[in-house]
């Protein structure tokens, strides 16, 4: 590619990088489910390291986007929108890694299946975000993005209800203080990660509306 094309951004570099970022956010969220069965056996370190590696890969992509914004004069989307989406997507992986670190220090004997519903919602939300990001390249700035964003909002509402149910059961049925503190922290971190997916989805929806 000639220097003038690089300067004007006449390629799909930003869409490619943003799609990679969305897929890594999806990957990091999905990897959390692989940790759960390994916790009781004390073998969660490998799965935790996998998420940490995904987050590092995501950081590299995030930095590439920032560097490209500094070098390319014309971009397919407004630079501030690209940077906002870049930051929102990276926060998903960063939060997923934090959750993995907390899960790895679970107290002995805890029922790790308690977070299964939250993890399922997170996986769906992260997959929805990746789909929305891919839609930007295709120019799908209408109903497809709107419908996916509405689905994200619905998932976020489901996540709120699930967390309230889990907290209620935790306070009602658990007497061990360590367990209460541990799960309250995990529930809230998972809720925050789902919120990060909704936030990223909002950025995509906002960008799609601006470019419709």
User: Which residue in the block uniquely carries the two structure tokens 């690209």?
Assistant: 82
Please check the confidence at residue 1 and state whether its pLDDT lies above 50. Answer: no
What DSSP string describes 73-117?
Answer: SS-SS-HHHHHHHHHHHHHHHHHHHHHHHHHTTPPTT--GGGGHH
pLDDT > 50? residue 29:
yes
Angle at 210 between CA 152 and CA 18, to 5 degrees: 60
pTM above 0.75, yes or no: yes
High-pLDDT (> 90) share of the chain, %: 59
Q: Looking at the predicted structure, is the pLDDT value of residue 143 above 80?
A: no
Nearest-angstrom CA–CA distance, 85 and 22: 9
Calpha distance 98→128 (Å, rounded): 21
- Averaged over 118-145, what is the pLDDT? 87
Q: Does domain 3-210 have CATH number 3.40.50.450?
A: no
Q: Work out the widest C-alpha separation in the chain, in whole angstroms.
A: 67
Mean local confidence (pLDDT), 182-203: 95
Cα three-residue angle 35-40-41, rounded to 5 degrees: 90
Per-residue pLDDT at 10 exceeds 90:
no
Torsion sign (Cα): 94, 96, 99, 101: negative
Residue 191 pLDDT > 90: yes
Please tell me which residue, 136 or 60, carries the higher pLDDT value. 60
Q: Which of 29-38, 57-66, 89-98, 129-138 has the lowest mean pLDDT?
A: 29-38
Q: What's the confidence (pLDDT) of residue 20? A: 97
For residues 80 and 60, what is the distance between their CA atoms, to the nearest angstrom? Answer: 19
| Per-residue model confidence as pLDDT tens digits over 144-179 | 788 999 999 999 999 999 999 999 999 998 788 888
State the pLDDT at residue 50: 85
What's the pLDDT score for residue 25? 97
What does each C-alpha distance from 121 to 51, 62, 99, 124, 163 come to in angstroms?
18, 25, 15, 5, 11
- Domain ranges, ordered by start, for the chain: 3-210
Lookup: tokens for 7:
């300067």
Name the more confident of 73 and 30: 30
Q: Is the pLDDT of residue 18 over 90?
A: yes
């Amino acid at each position: 590619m000639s220097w003038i094309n690089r300067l004007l951004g006449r390629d799909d570099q930003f869409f490619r990088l943003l799609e990679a970022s969305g897929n890594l956010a999806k990957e990091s969220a999905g990897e959390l489910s692989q940790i759960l069965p390994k916790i009781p056996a004390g073998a969660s370190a490998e799965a935790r390291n996998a998420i940490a590696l995904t987050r590092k890969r995501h950081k590299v992509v995030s930095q590439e986007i920032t560097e490209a914004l500094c070098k390319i004069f014309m971009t397919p989307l407004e630079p501030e929108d690209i940077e906002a989406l870049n930051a929102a997507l990276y926060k998903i992986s960063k939060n997923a890694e934090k959750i993995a670190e907390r899960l790895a220090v679970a107290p002995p004997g805890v029922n790790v299946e308690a977070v299964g519903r939250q993890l399922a919602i997170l996986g769906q939300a992260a997959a929805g975000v990746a789909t929305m990001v891919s839609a930007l390249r295709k120019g799908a700035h209408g109903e497809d993005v709107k419908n996916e964003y509405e689905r994200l909002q619905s998932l976020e509402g489901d996540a709120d209800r699930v967390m309230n149910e889990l907290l209620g059961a935790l306070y009602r049925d658990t007497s061990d203080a360590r367990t209460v503190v541990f799960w309250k922290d995990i529930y809230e971190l998972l809720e925050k990660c789902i919120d990060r997916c909704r936030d990223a989805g909002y950025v995509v929806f906002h960008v799609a509306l601006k470019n419709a």
